[in-house]
Chains A and B, each alone.
Chain A
Amino acid sequence: MIVNCLNHLGLPVSPALLAFSAAPLAHLRPLDIAVIAIYFGMVIWIGFYLKGRSNTSEEFFMAGREMTAWIAGLSFVSANLGSLELMGWAGSAYQYGILATHWYWIGAIPAMLFLGLVMMPFYYVSKTHSVPGYLNLRFGGASRSLAAISFAAEMVLMSGVNMFAMAVVMKVVLGWDITFSILVSSVAVAIYVGLGGLRSAIFNEVLQFVLIWGGALLVPILGLIQAGGVGGLKTRIIANMHTDSYFHLWRDTGHFASNPMGVHWTGIVLGLGFVISFGYWTTDFLVVQRVLAAHNLRAARMAPIIGSFFKMAVPFIVILPGLLGLVLLQNPDGSRRQLVGEDVVKSCTVNASGDHISDPGGCATAMAVKSTLPAAYQQSVLSAAPGSELHSYNEALPLMMVRYCGPGLLGLGITALIAGFMSGMAGNVSAFSTVWTYDIYKPLIKKSGTDAHYVLVGRLSILIGVAVSIGAAYLVMHAHGIMDYVQALFSFFIAPLLGAILMGMFWKRATAPAGFLGLLAGIVTSVSLFVWVKFNPAELASVALSPDAKPMAENLYRALWAFLTCVLVIFVVSLFTKPKPVEELNGLVYGATILPKEDPVPFYKNVWVWAVLAILIFAVLNILFW
């Protein structure tokens, strides 16, 4: 009946795609494939179109510094809006409710506004090409090299991890072969960034941002209609979960044990809201590079502020689908579908012939200990009954897409996920290329190359970055445990880097040796705490200051200790070492810099007006969902 109807519409099921996997969540029709193919064609064409405008290093690495505030702002947000983030946080909302929204609001907005209002003038006036470049100007080559090498390694490894995770998603959702997904998406990114440089990456990020909204916005709209609006959603969640904690951002964070995430408000405010958020949004070159490409200082300051409004809206397409999934997703028999952790799904893998669970004992234990699935459903999973497969939290968003999106719309939704992945990867490789060329190759390998030579190095480093990322993806595929370490790697550098940048930017007395030693001490502290808890899980209570703390809290507190160590070391060492003369700090340090006077503008173009409006909306949202 299904195939007949589709044939009648001239939309036959594609057997080539069905052949990939036994039971993917969805099957694409030719209309969906056309939507995805047009997207790939467009992004590659943009790369070719912009190639002629990326001939000098300033054009290739900094997009000619001619982006408007809107384009830089949207690109700034889009580079961070990866598909894994979309799906991961939708899954977190399914598990923890709107507590997950903290990562979009307090975990982003204050830092974005601080970047635009306070820090951007120093980055922009110093005319640095990168964040390690700023460290070089402020603290010297040793700090720059430490930050650049760690950042470059982190970028390609993270890109590989994300690439693998995205390929797994495509395998689960569509049944696509992992190698096919990895190669197609990474080759497309290599072509358009390699040809058009940062300009092409930014162009495509803005395009991808629009597509992400166009593809994902339908899910919460239709979900809310089906749930009976926000009131209906609340009523059904309370009826199903027997608690209203899912709707409170702050009320239940007074104690670690009072909320499902196991976090305390001090960790959210200081660890997430200050150290991790400020570290990421103000010092991670992946996002800062987009703002540095703005055409003047006012646009550079306005870009993160524009981005903050869109960032505040992202929970509508990420958190809300997770909450809606909690009450709307159904099993084939009409009962409520309960999603479980990845570990439970892995424990309950069916054998190759699909007729029984490979490890029934392990599966039964995992379901009993780590899920709240009803006993009858556990039995049907154990007997591998048709339609009783398990899905993980991370599949909440794709499951919701499949629920509401028919041909064409599903292709648009999948394109949104692919676009999210590609914008993140393009961000990684373009930032890697700039840091490699300006902060590693130029100062350490070849100091006196021509401009054309450095552009060539930049283009080649994009190809090499993509190739290493693919290698990292396969490494992760064959050794899953590595993924945890690579993701932890990201957190090792962010907090100390924030400490070094803030001390350098706001304390004239901070010295070069202090900057380097502080950065190093912060990294060592972060790595040591990670290893300590890894080998002694009980010590999590010591790091997070509570026996009730969960791993999420450890990340927040580890970042806080690393930041404080870095700041303390810089402070103490600076007192015993000789500072730079104040006249050498112009353009680098607050209080020693004469900022260029900006032309008077009407109030609606004033950065402070928009920043105050953003803060007001941020405050209202937090009070509304208290």
Chain B
Amino acid sequence: MHSSGIPIWFFIGVLLLVYGTMILGYGVIELATGCYPPAVELTNLHTPIWWGGLLAALGMFYVIKFRPARAK
């Protein structure tokens, strides 16, 4: 797909980075305020923080590795 312009992996990286940042941000607010969504199980694991962080890190990796300037 590189010959067609921006690689698909770059789009995937952007989306994961945005989603990861949003979810991580929510997780941090959740932790800071101590307000957890009702009826959600295992909130003690702080899933939004580590899952959001994981998505953001993965997204960042793809954005850097497949950024358009590098692909050219």
Interface residues of A (CB under 8 A from B): 1-2, 5-6, 8-9, 11, 31, 34-35, 38-39, 42, 46, 49-50, 53, 64, 66-68, 71, 199, 203, 206-207, 210-211, 214, 218, 222, 225-226, 402-409, 412
Contact = CB atoms under 8 A, between A and B. Distances in A.
B43 A409 contact: no
A305 B52 CA distance: 31
Contact of A5 (B27, B35, B40): B35
Contact of A66 (B3, B18, B35, B48): B3
B34 to A, nearest CB: 9
Given A206-B12, A218-B51, A404-B47, A71 B1 contact: yes
A291 to B, nearest CB: 15
A159 to B, nearest CB: 24
A214 B19 contact: yes
Task: Identify whether the interface residues of B are mostly helix, strand, loop, or mixed.
Answer: helix
A412 B19 contact: yes
A413 to B, nearest CB: 11
Contacts of A34: 22
23 contacts: A8-B35, A9-B26, A9-B29, A9-B35, A31-B26, A38-B19, A50-B4, A66-B3, A71-B1, A71-B8, A210-B15, A210-B16, A211-B15, A222-B41, A225-B45, A226-B42, A403-B39, A404-B47, A405-B47, A407-B26, A408-B22, A409-B51, A412-B19
Contacts of B22: 31, 34-35, 408
A404 B41 CA distance: 5
A203 B8 CA distance: 6
A225 B19 contact: no
B6 interface: yes
A53 B47 CA distance: 41
Interface of B: 1, 3-6, 8, 11-12, 14-16, 18-19, 22-23, 26-27, 29-30, 33, 35-43, 45, 47-48, 51-52, 55
Nearest to A199: B4
B40 A405 contact: yes
A380 to B, nearest CB: 19
B60 to A, nearest CB: 14
B42 A222 contact: yes
A314 B26 CA distance: 29
Contact of A406 (B1, B11, B48): B48
A9 B1 contact: no
Contact of A38 (B15, B43, B48, B51): B15
A514 B15 CA distance: 51
Contacts of A9: 26, 29-30, 33, 35
A309 B41 CA distance: 32
Nearest to A31: B26
Contacts of B36: 406
Given A46-B11, A203-B11, A403 B19 contact: no
Contacts of A408: 22-23, 26-27, 48, 52
A354 to B, nearest CB: 20
A64 B2 CA distance: 13
Contacts of B30: 9, 406
Nearest to B35: A5
Contact of B41 (A53, A211, A403): A403
A492 B24 CA distance: 48
Contact of A403 (B3, B27, B40): B40
A414 to B, nearest CB: 12
Contacts of A1: 38
B1 A39 contact: no
Contact of B19 (A11, A35, A218): A35
Contacts of B27: 408
Nearest to B32: A9
A495 B48 CA distance: 46
Contact of A6 (B11, B12, B35): B35
B37 to A, nearest CB: 4
A212 B51 CA distance: 14
